[in-house]
Structure 1
Amino acid sequence: MAIVSVIFGQTMIMFLIMLIGFLCFRVGLIDENGSQQISNVVIYISNPALLLNSFIGKLKSSQLMDGLDILVLLVIMMLVTIVIAKLLFRKPSQMLVRFALIFANLGFIGLPLSKAVLGTGSVFYMSIFVGVSNFSLWTYGIYMISGDRRTIQLKKLVVNPAILALVFGLIFAFTGVQLPHVLGTAVSDLANMNLPLVMIAMGCYLAEGDIRNALKSRDLYEAVGARLIIAPLIVMIMLKLCQTT
């Protein structure tokens, strides 16, 4: 019950901050350009700072070994999810649902949610998930949408802020190098900005959208069902199998 209470409390905090973003947009304190700029700050500054901060001088060898195990599990999980998505949603009109089942917005919402609920230490493991997901998104995801392998651009993957933060973070983790106090504090403070900025941006997006029409869309419910029901079931089954082996 304790973990449920923590999750509920943190979720309520996130919804309250999101409500502030929603109201800010509706009363005109933030417009469409402003919400996009907030998202850019998250993607290019606070999110990479959160990733980088999770690696610097805090990882033990046991954590790195656990991270390797998680990497292998995540790759298998991604492949299994791709196969299941193809089997369940074969129609061309169900591309959105298939995409929703395979990919999640891990960097934008997953990282701050992980930190809020499970603490800063969980960000390292979540960052591995972000790396696997981003690689899959910029390769197979692009191919899914376009149907043309030539549209896969590894150059965009290499310069992705989250990937760059992971690379530099791993360098810090393996070498044990620490940032100078002032710079390290700046990175930590930027990382702490991530959750409020993400939720304000989410509130703005909700205020921008046409919620009534969205709720009438069958595709929306299929995508939500795939993401929030089928995907967790796949994860739970795979984790259960790992426990029994």
Structure 2
Amino acid sequence: MLENIQILVSQLLVMFLLMAVGYACFRLKYLNNVGAGQMSLILTRIVSSCVIIESFQREFDPSLVIALLEAAGCAIFAMGLSIVISHLLFRADGPHKNFADKRMCVVFTNCGFMALPLLDALYGSYGLFLGSAFIAVNNVLLWSYGVSQLCRDTTPTQKIRNAVLNPGVVSVAIALIIFLTSFELPTIPATCISYLASLNTPVAMIILGAFLAQCDLRSCFQDKQVYFVTALRLLILPLITMAFFLLLPLDSILRNAMLISAAAPVAMVCSMFGQVYGTDYLFSTRTVAVSTIFSSLTIPFIIALSSLIGG
């Protein structure tokens, strides 16, 4: 257990140093908002897809199919719990005018940018394999439930199309075909995918650093609602999720991999989507910044507690 926590903390320190590089690049005007947005597009559309495809490039094993289904079930529970709690706390007819943005911040985690590098450091390609299940569930809900929260005019047809035709789900579908057929990619395309996948951690952290550089951190830490949503996202929901996972006969690696994804900070996409749909994206921006900073403490705590109780 101690060794895994040391690896986790070391990886978090590396990631925050990479964020500092992104922060400095933005402040020194080596990188601007447009450039960060373009890098984010490359990361979410290409690099993350390559990470998932590479992690599925393995010999077919029925036990891995079972593990993947269990991971998907865990992801559905974790995100379903977040949706229920967010709807109870932030009602459409309640005092929160920005209820949709708060729901988004509670439900959607940075399971790609933050969780995948940690899973890679702790569990290698197997961790990425399991993490892809959380990403698939996250993307289906993001483009269906998430969009419907921010844009009330979304039709059922648009919800279905958005849920199915998005980079995360498409890349998982391709990866599943490769895995189930035991298809081995030729050397040249496999090497290309591997090179692109290796960009995930540094590019993601540089983008996050540039994103934080655009925030007024002083105002972020003065908003009490930001603390409340951050506490829900980083501590309360992960602890409830952990308690449920510990009741199930889950493999410890699978349990911790899902907990890391479920305990990740608020997803940057909450702010991006809020800006696109004209909601209170500044609140989401502040919450992303604060939750990202505090996650360096809460993620090791959650995993240490899970390992201590569940082995």
TM-score (norm 1): 0.91
Give structure 1 stretches of 5+ with no counterpart: none
Q: What amino acid sits opposite 2:134 in the alignment?
A: F
1:15-94 matched pairs, under 5 angstroms: 15-90=16-91, 91=94, 92-93=96-97, 94=99
Instruction: Go from structure 1 to structure 2 and tell me whether the alpha carbon gap of 1:44 and 1:135 turns closer, same or farther (over 3 Å shift).
Output: same
In the other structure, the counterpart of 1:216 is: 222
Q: Which has the higher contact order (CA 8 A, sep 6+)?
A: 1
Q: 106-115 vs 162-171, which deviates more? A: 106-115
Cα distance in structure 2, aligned partners of 1:121 and 1:76: 21
In the other structure, the counterpart of 1:205 is: 211
Contact 1:100 1:226 in 2 (8 A): no
Instruction: Go from structure 1 to structure 2 and tell me whether the alpha carbon gap of 1:28 and 1:126 turns closer, same or farther (over 3 Å shift).
Output: same
Cα distance in structure 1, aligned partners of 2:60 and 2:201: 23
What's the CA shift for 1:119?
1.8
Contact 2:22 2:209 in 1 (8 A): yes
Question: Which residue, out of 165, 170, 176, partners 1:164?
Answer: 170
In the other structure, the counterpart of 1:143 is: 148
Contact 1:51 1:169 in 2 (8 A): yes
Q: What amino acid sits opposite 1:75 in the alignment?
A: I
What's the CA shift for 1:107?
2.4
Cα distance in structure 1, aligned partners of 2:142 and 2:18: 29
Question: Which residue, out of 229, 233, 238, partners 2:239?
Answer: 233
Cα distance in structure 2, aligned partners of 1:76 and 1:24: 39
Cα distance in structure 2, aligned partners of 1:3 and 1:205: 29
Cα distance in structure 1, aligned partners of 2:135 and 2:84: 20
Q: 192-201 vs 33-42, which deviates more? A: 33-42
Question: Which residue, out of 103, 111, 128, partners 1:98?
Answer: 103
TM-score (norm 2): 0.73
In the other structure, the counterpart of 1:131 is: 136
In the other structure, the counterpart of 1:13 is: 14
Cα distance in structure 2, aligned partners of 1:76 and 1:241: 13
Contact 1:74 1:129 in 2 (8 A): yes
1:166-205 matched pairs, under 5 angstroms: 166-205=172-211
Q: What amino acid sits opposite 2:167 in the alignment?
A: P
Contact 1:15 1:199 in 2 (8 A): yes
Instruction: Go from structure 1 to structure 2 and tell me whether the alpha carbon gap of 1:186 and 1:145 turns closer, same or farther (over 3 Å shift).
Output: same
Contact 1:114 1:123 in 2 (8 A): yes
What's the CA shift for 1:217?
1.7
Higher helix share: 1
Q: What amino acid sits opposite 2:207 in the alignment?
A: A
Cα distance in structure 1, aligned partners of 2:225 and 2:16: 25
In structure 1, the residue corresponding to 2:191 is in which secondary structure? Answer: helix
Cα distance in structure 2, aligned partners of 1:33 and 1:86: 34
Contact 1:101 1:230 in 2 (8 A): no
Post-superposition CA distance 1:6-26 (Å, at most 9, x none) = 111111111111111111111
Number of corresponding residues: 244
Cα distance in structure 2, aligned partners of 1:65 and 1:11: 30
Task: Determine what percentage of the aligned residue pairs are the same residue.
Answer: 31
RMSD: 1.9
Instruction: Go from structure 1 to structure 2 and tell me whether the alpha carbon gap of 1:24 and 1:58 turns closer, same or farther (over 3 Å shift).
Output: farther
Q: 168-177 vs 28-37, which deviates more? A: 28-37
Give structure 2 stretches of 5+ with no counterpart: 251-311
